[in-house]
């Protein structure tokens, strides 16, 4: 199956971008960093002999896809992946909705997969059109009073039919410690609502309809035991939240939606193999890092725009925003990530991006093949809109013209671009993309001299919030 491609040609320009010589000049240090990630990090992690400047070393995300596939191959239903499939396949006939409670990396990956792979109006489809897969909603990622109330009322109202299943919902609660305020508060509220909705069946079904993904110990783990949860899934040790999309954190919601989790992991493995073995000039991870890093260093491109050319991939861009910002925004370093969706944002932000402050690089995320048949403009007897000359042109053709036109306009004003080309949108390609961007983030962090793992700034806000609530 095809691998995604990276085309940096829109940034290879001595006037406003970087040169081939500059990119080649990074080959040595990037080769060393590749060796560090592929060989040294695993040995240090597994031995526990981790240098102080690498603490924490949440590097397990790199070999986690292979690890999970091997465990499933060896143990099937007894493996964690097998248990995920059992829960997802065993529960969907009993309910019509799932509330996924988590914040940051505990929900953004799952949301990205849902928006990329499911029908854009999945939650509005009938149960039959969804193949009995549940509607899925995301909360516990804020403390927004009105949003929480609205979802509680939506879930209480049930689905769009009258069967028993369409009146029920489940909770997937994701928190490594269980101590994150936003998720913990939401879980208390949604748990109370679920228990009330089950009525006399609560004693029998509550532990089945609450699915925690958490650490091996901590508040949520203890609460899961008190509830009597039938299945508890682990946030793997050595995997930070923003790197956890290919763990049960992302796999549990994906499996409940009926997405192909095996292909997702296989795509990540394919990217790992490419990263480890492809020559520097052909290595999409290393070339992506080299071009973007050089633009930041030599052209002061402090804002890195993920320019998404498909509505389905907006949440992928937002997931990447967190990944890059939280990993490398330390010690006064790191670029600022920004996601735009085109052609929508060409009519809002683009004027400033093209002719305002010249501090951005535009990484286009482009889908080459759509899931549905190309939709033609169509011919009409009412041609006041003057579109009949485009009657036989399709929306993908118009999108292609917009992409080229935008890149050309940016280049004319001295703005660099690159293209990440996706063969299509499915879990196999997404697995590649997620793994590529996670590896690239770690490589660039090491290149900058910062530890891409850990998030001390986030921990500081949590401490201050608890202090303001009088919790010491």
User: What residues are labeled active site?
Assistant: 326, 347, 462
158: left (phi over 0), alpha (psi -120 to 50) or beta: left
Are 334 and 448 within 8 A, CB to CB?
Answer: yes
Whats the size of the chain, residue-wise? 472
DSSP line for 398-465: HHHHHHHHHHHHHHHTT--EEEEEES-SSHHHHHHHHHHHHHHHHHHHHHHTS-SS--HHHHHHHHHH
Are 104 and 242 within 8 A, CB to CB?
Answer: yes
Which among 159, 156, 153, 163 has a CA at the least distance from the CA of 198?
156
Q: Is 457 buried (19+), middle (13-18) or exposed (0-12) by CB count in 10 A?
A: exposed
């Amino acid at each position: 199956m095809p691998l995604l491609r990276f085309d940096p040609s829109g940034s290879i320009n001595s006037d406003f971008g970087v040169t081939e010589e500059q990119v080649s000049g990074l080959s040595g240090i990037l080769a060393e960093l590749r060796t560090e990630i592929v060989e040294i990090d695993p040995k240090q992690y597994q031995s526990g002999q981790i240098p102080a400047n690498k603490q924490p070393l949440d590097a397990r995300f790199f070999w986690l896809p292979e690890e999970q596939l091997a465990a499933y191959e060896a143990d099937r239903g007894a493996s964690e992946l097998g248990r995920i499939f059992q829960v997802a396949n065993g529960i969907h006939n009993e309910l019509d909705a799932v509330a996924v409670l988590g914040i940051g990396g505990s929900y953004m990956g799952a949301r990205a997969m849902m928006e990329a792979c499911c029908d854009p109006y999945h939650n509005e489809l009938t149960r039959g059109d969804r193949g009995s897969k549940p509607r899925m909603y995301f909360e516990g990622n804020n403390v927004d009073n009105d949003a929480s109330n609205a979802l509680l009322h939506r879930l209480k109202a049930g689905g769009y039919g009258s069967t028993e299943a369409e009146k029920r919902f489940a909770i997937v609660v994701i928190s490594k410690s269980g101590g994150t305020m936003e998720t913990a508060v939401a879980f208390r509220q949604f748990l109370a609502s679920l228990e009330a909705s089950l009525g006399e069946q609560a004693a029998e079904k509550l532990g089945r309809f609450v699915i925690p993904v958490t650490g091996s110990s901590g508040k949520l783990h203890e609460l899961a035991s008190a509830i009597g949860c039938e299945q508890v899934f682990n946030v793997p040790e050595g995997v930070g939240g923003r790197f956890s999309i290919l763990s049960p954190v992302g796999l549990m919601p994906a499996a409940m939606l009926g997405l192909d989790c095996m292909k997702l992991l296989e795509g990540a493995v394919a990217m790992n193999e490419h990263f480890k073995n492809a020559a520097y000039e052909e290595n999409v991870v290393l070339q992506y890092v080299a071009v973007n890093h050089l633009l930041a260093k030599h052209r002061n491109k402090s804002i890195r725009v993920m320019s998404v050319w498909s509505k389905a991939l907006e949440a992928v861009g937002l997931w990447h925003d967190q990944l890059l910002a939280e990993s490398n925004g330390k010690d006064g370093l790191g670029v600022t990530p920004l996601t735009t969706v085109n052609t929508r944002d060409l009519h809002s932000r683009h004027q400033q991006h093209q002719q305002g402050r010249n501090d951005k690089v535009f990484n286009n995320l482009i889908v080459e093949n759509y899931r549905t048949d190309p939709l033609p403009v169509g011919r009409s007897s009412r041609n006041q809109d003057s579109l009949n000359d485009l009657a036989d042109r399709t929306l993908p053709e118009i999108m292609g013209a917009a992409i080229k036109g935008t890149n050309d306009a940016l280049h004319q004003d001295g703005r660099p671009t690159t293209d990440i080309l996706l063969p299509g949108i499915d879990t196999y390609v997404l697995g590649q993309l997620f793994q590529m961007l996670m590896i690239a983030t770690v490589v660039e962090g090491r290149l900058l001299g910062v530890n891409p793992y850990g998030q001390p700034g986030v921990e500081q806000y949590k401490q201050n919030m608890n202090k303001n609530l009088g919790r010491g």
